[in-house]
Amino acid sequence: MRTIRHPDLLRYLDGMETEGAIMFVTDPVEPLSDQLHQDPNPDLILWGLYKIANAIAFINNDCGMIHGNVRTSSIFTNRAGEWKLGGLELLSSLQDESPVILTFGGLMPDAQRYASPEIRKSGWTVIKNLPIAATDSYHLGCLIFEAYNRHFETPDQLDSRRGNIPSDIIDSYRSLLHGSPGARPDAHQFLDTGLRSKGFFTTDFIQVNLFLENISIKESVERDNFFRKLDQHINSFPSEFSKFKILPELVKAFEFGSGGAKALNAILKIGQLLPEDGFEADVVPPIVRMFASPDRAIRASLLENMPHFIDHVPKKTVTDQIFPNVATGFTDTVPMIREQTIKSILHLVPKLSDRIINYDLLKYLAKLQMDHEPGIRTNTTICLGKIAKSLTETVSNFIKLLSSKTDYFQTRKKVLIPAFTRGLRDGFHHARIAALMALAATVSFYDAQECTHRILPCVCQILIDSEKSVRTQAFKTLDVFVKQLQIYADAMPETAFQTPGPSSSPMSEKPAEDKEAAIVSMAGVFSGATKGLAGWAVSSLNARMSTPSGDIESATSQILRAENLDGTVSSLKSPANGG
C-alpha cells in the first residue's frame, strides 16, 4: 500500500507496526456501506463503479497484479462521496515465489461467498492458471450487485436476481460473472463498453467529471462548450460532490490557466453552497491571487463578478491586496477594463481605508473624467456621485481628528463641485445629464453660497442645451436647488441691518461660528428635502441610447443599486486574453 499509488486507490499517508498490530494513516474516509445505506444518488454509484473499475484496470494491466479482495468492505468514500479502493491485504503478483492470495485468500471473511465458480470448485491455487484479471472481474460483478441491491447471501443470487441493476448495465454485469474465466472482460474492457456512444458511462455527471480531470489538455473550444454544459447541469449534481470534488478541480483550472475566466462563474455558483468559513477558506484565496493575473479576460470576469464574493473578503485583504491590482485597471489601455474597474469601485468602497478613498481613488477618478471614451467619462461622474455619501462618512472621521466642521464641507467642495461642473461642459450629452443628476442627488452637500455662486450659474447655462433630454434634466436639477434655496431664504432674517451698538460697526460681519451653524443647518434641510434623489444609477445611463436626442430615464426612476451594474453607457468590445 505504501508503494502503489493511483488517484482511485485509498491513499497511504503514514503507518507503523507493533508486536500486536499494524497501523496506518490514510486520507479521511468512511466505509462505502454508510453511503449505500443512505439511498445515494444514482450518479454517485455509477461514478463510483467507474472509479473502482479504473483502479482495477491499473492494478491488473499496468502493475500486472491481482487485487483479489474487491468488495464493498474494501471500498471507502471521501467527503465528496467519491469511491476509493482499499483492502489490499491480498494484493499479489503471480510472478512472486509464493503469492499471498494463494495462501491467504481463503482466510478472508466471507471468502466463499465472494469466490468465483472455479475457486469454489478447485481452491485458490487455481488462480495461478487463470487470466490475471479473471478474479477481479468476477468481484467487480459482485460489487455491481451490492451497489444496487445492498447484499447477497449466496453466489446463486447473483445469477437469479437482477434487482435494481439498471438495464443498460445488465449485459456487462452478466459477462463479468461468466462461468468461464476466459470469457470475462477485464476492467479496461468494461470501461470501454460503458464509454461507447450511448453507453452507461456517458451520463452528463460522468462526462463532466472526466472532462474536469483532463481539462488541462483540452482545446479552448472544448472548454467553452464544457462550461456552458456545466452551468446547465451543476444544480442537479449532489451538493457534497460539487463542493468537495468539482469545486477544487474548477479552482485548480481557474488558477493555473486551463479554466480561464469562464471557470469563475461555476466556482461562485458552487461556492454559494459552502458555509461562510468554507467560502473564505476555499474560494476567496484563489480569487484574491487571480487579481494579479495579467490575463485581461480573467481580470474583467473578476470585476464583473465582484458583487458575488466581495462581502466575504476581509477589509484588510481588500485594501492591501485587491485594490492595488484593481487600480491598474484605471489606466488600462482597453476601454472595457477601465469601465469595469469604475463600476467595481461601488462594491469596494465600503471596505477601503479612508486614505485610499480620499486620495488614491479620487485621483484616479479625476483622470478618468477626462478619458477619451465618452461612456467612461459618464460612468465616472455617476460613480463619483454615488460614492459621495461614502466620502462624506470618511471625511467625517477626519473632522474628529481635525476638530473643524468647516473642513467637512471644504473637502467635498474641492472634489464634487469641480467634477460635476466640468461634466456639465462635456461634449457627450449623456455625460452632461449624468452631471446634472449627480448635482441633484448630492444637493445636501453644498451650502447656499456655493449653490448660488458656483453651481446654479453652470446649470443655468444648459437650460437651453441643444439636446432636449439635457434641457429636461437641467430644469429638474434647477428646481431641486431653487426649492431648497427657498427654504433656506425663508429661514433668513428679514434684514441684515443692525442698530449700531457700542462695539459694532457697519462693516462688522457675523461671527464665524454663526456662519458655520447656518451652513450645517442648510445641509440638514437639503438632506431631508432631496431624500428621494439620493439613489440613482450607473445603470440609468448604461441603458442603450440609440440617437443623440433619445430620452434618458430619469434619476428618480433608475436607482443606482450596487448589486445591479450590468449595463454600460458605451458599447465596448471585450479584450482578447492576454497581458
Give per-10-residue mean pLDDT for the chain (579 aa).
Answer: 88 89 92 91 96 98 96 96 96 92 93 95 94 97 95 89 92 96 97 96 95 89 89 89 93 83 90 90 94 92 94 94 96 95 95 89 93 96 91 47 44 82 95 96 91 95 96 97 93 76 46 46 44 42 38 36 38 40
Distance of CA 192 to the CA centre of its chain: 36
Q: For position 256, what pLDDT does the model report?
A: 84
Query: How many helices (H) does the chain have, and how many strands (E)?
Result: 30, 5
Q: For position 561, what pLDDT does the model report?
A: 38
Q: For position 101, what pLDDT does the model report?
A: 95
- Is residue 433 within 8 Å of residue 469, measured between CB atoms? yes
Q: For position 518, what pLDDT does the model report?
A: 47
Q: For position 298, what pLDDT does the model report?
A: 92
Bridge partners of 15? Answer: 24
Compute the distance between CA of residue 201 and CA of residue 362 in angstroms, rounded to an integer.
57
Q: For position 500, what pLDDT does the model report?
A: 59
Q: For position 498, what pLDDT does the model report?
A: 64
pTM: 0.75
Count of all residues that appear for the chain in the document: 579
- Cα dihedral 247, 250, 255, 260, rounded to 10, equals -140
Q: For position 262, what pLDDT does the model report?
A: 85
Q: For position 31, what pLDDT does the model report?
A: 96
Full set of structural domains in the chain with CATH: 12-195 (1.10.510.10)
Residue 510 phi, psi (nearest 5) = -65, 145
Q: For position 411, what pLDDT does the model report?
A: 57
Compute the distance between CA of residue 233 and CA of residue 218 in angstroms, rounded to an integer.
20
DSSP 3-state of 14: strand
Give DSSP secondary structure letters for 504-556: --TT----HHHHHHHHHHHHHHHHHHTGGGS---HHHHHS---STT-----TT
